[in-house]
Chain A
C-alpha cells in the first residue's frame, strides 16, 4: 500500500522515442508534482498540479507534457527523447501549500 507509486521504476529507451511515466497517490492529497534529479543529485521542480489544474510549470521544454486525469494521478509524457533527459524523475504529493511532500521512489530514465 505504497503512498506514492510510480511506474516504471526503470526506463531505457533510444533518442527520438516517446515515453510515459505514471504516478498515483493514495493519500487523498490535492497537489501533485514532478521533480527531476540529475546525475549530481540536484532536485528541481518541473510541474505542480492542484486538483487536476496546472499551477507550476518551470521552464520545461514543450516535449514534456504532464496530464492529471484526476487528483490522485499525475502522468508525465515525454516526446522526442534526448540524451539530456536521462535522469531520475520523482513524483510527489502534498496535502496543501507548505505541507510536507511525499515522494515516490523514482523512475530512472536512460536515453541512449
Chain B
C-alpha cells in the first residue's frame, strides 16, 4: 500500500523567512496530494492541494510543487508569520477515499 514520508519533523524559522516541507510517496498511482494545517486543539484544515496532472500550484504565500518522476512533493510558505505556526501534514491518495498522511511537521515561526 501507499506510504508517505515527511521531513522535517520540526522546523523553526524567523518571521518573514520561507519554510519548506517535503514529502515522498511510494505508489506511483497516487494522483491527489493535499496539505493540511492543524492548530492546537483543532482538526486538520486543508490549505492547498495538487493533482497529478499539475506540477505546481500557488495560493498567495503558499505553493506546492509535485515531481511525479521522483515521487515527491513539497510545501513552500513564503513571508512566514507567527500565525503560520502549527503542525502541517502532507497526504496522498490513489483516486480513492483513503488518504494516507505523512507524519507531520511542527512549524514554529518566531517573531
Contacts and interface: CB of A to CB of B under 8 A. Distances in A.
Interface in A25-66: 31, 33, 40-45, 48, 50, 55-56, 58
Given A92-B43, A105-B41, A40 B103 contact: yes
Contacts of A72: none
In the complex, which range does the number of interface residues on chain A fall in? 20 to 34
Tell me which of B95, B97, B104 has the highest count of chain A C-beta atoms within 10 A of its own C-beta.
Answer: B97
Interface of B: 31-32, 34, 36, 38, 41-46, 49, 51, 87, 89, 93, 95-101, 103-104
Given A40-B103, A42-B103, A103 B97 contact: no
Contacts of A94: 97
A98 B43 contact: no
13 contacts: A41-B87, A42-B104, A43-B104, A48-B97, A55-B97, A97-B97, A98-B31, A98-B32, A101-B44, A103-B36, A103-B43, A104-B43, A105-B41
A41 B37 CA distance: 12
Contact of B93 (A40, A90, A98, A105): A98
B104 A90 contact: no
Contact of A103 (B31, B45, B87): B45
Nearest to B41: A105
A100 B103 contact: no
Nearest to A92: B43
B95 A43 contact: no
A43 B34 contact: no
Contacts of B99: 45, 101
Given A42-B103, A98-B32, A56 B43 contact: no
Nearest to B43: A103
Given A41-B38, A90-B43, 6 more contacts: A43-B101, A45-B99, A45-B100, A48-B97, A98-B95, A106-B41
